[in-house]
Amino acid sequence: MDWPYITLKRFEIINKARSVIEDCDWLVFIDADAFVVGKVTEEEFLERCCGSTTDEVPLFGVHHPCHRAGMPPHKTKTGAYETDEKSEAYFDVSKELPPIYWQGCFWGGKVPSALAMIDELEARENRDLENDVVAVWHDETQINRYFLEREFDVHTFGPEYAYPEVFDEHCNFEPKIVHLAKDNSKYQQ
């Protein structure tokens, strides 16, 4: 698909594998240009986020590293949120901006909750397209709106799970998962 539909239609594409996903306990989405460079254990990952504790939550996402670092567009009043009221991803930026903005490269959860999210976001994106609207950051903008509506159902991993190789100089934390540079990644040599 042409840009931005290759990312915008992500939920529709994932739904094509629904019968396989339904046979699983977990759905973990991670961009193909991500590279694990640190140790990620089952206990740290699955149990900490959605395990069998009393504070169990069914979904997870990752704090956008550029949001944490206060980089554009996150340092502006509107941040990276959708400001077009016609969009299903609209967020009223006249209110206080949330402390977290999630990156669309790494998310998931327990299968029933993750599939419900995929269904809802596919429907929202299709309604937007019917109204000639494309959310500002495509699927990521939709994810943020969905997570904001369910903030107590989302465990947020730190930005070390989406470390942006191209903004290495802005990150003061050690990576666990690196979002590779599109050209000339040191991890691809």
Q: What is the CATH number of the domain that holds 44?
A: 3.90.550.10
The boundaries of the domain holding residue 111 are 5-183
Whether residue 165 lies inside any domain: the answer is yes
Rg (CA), the chain: 16
**Chain position carrying tokens 């670092």:** 69
CB neighbourhood size of 30 (10 A) = 17
Q: What is the Cα–Cα distance from 115 to 120, expressed in whole angstroms?
A: 9
Judged against a pLDDT cut of 70, whether residue 50 lies above it is answered with no
Q: Are 172 and 41 in contact (CB under 8 A)?
A: no
Q: Assess if residue 93 is contained within a domain.
A: yes
What's the pTM? Answer: 0.90
d(C-alpha 84, C-alpha 161), whole Å:
30
If we measure between CA atoms, which residue out of 12, 2, 4, 30 comes closest to residue 126? 12
- When pLDDT is cut at 50, 70 and 90, the band that residue 185 belongs to is low
**Does 85 reside within a domain?**
yes
Tell me if 189 is assigned to some domain: no
Average pLDDT over residues 8-12: 93
Which of 66-75, 96-105, 145-154 has the lowest average pLDDT?
Answer: 66-75
Nearest residue to 121 via CA among 17, 10, 24: 10
The predicted structure's pLDDT at residue 130? 97
On the question of pLDDT at 103 being above 90, the answer is yes
**What is the tally of structural domains in the chain?**
1
Rounded Cα distance, 20 and 32, in Å: 19
Q: Which whole number is the average pLDDT over 98-114?
A: 94
Residue 164 lies in a domain: yes
Distance of CA 100 to the CA centre of its chain: 11
What is the reported pLDDT for 84?
95
Give 164's pLDDT tier (boundaries 50, 70, 90). Answer: confident
Q: Is residue 188 part of a domain?
A: no
Rounded Cα distance, 84 and 98, in Å? 18
Is the pLDDT confidence value at 69 over 70? yes
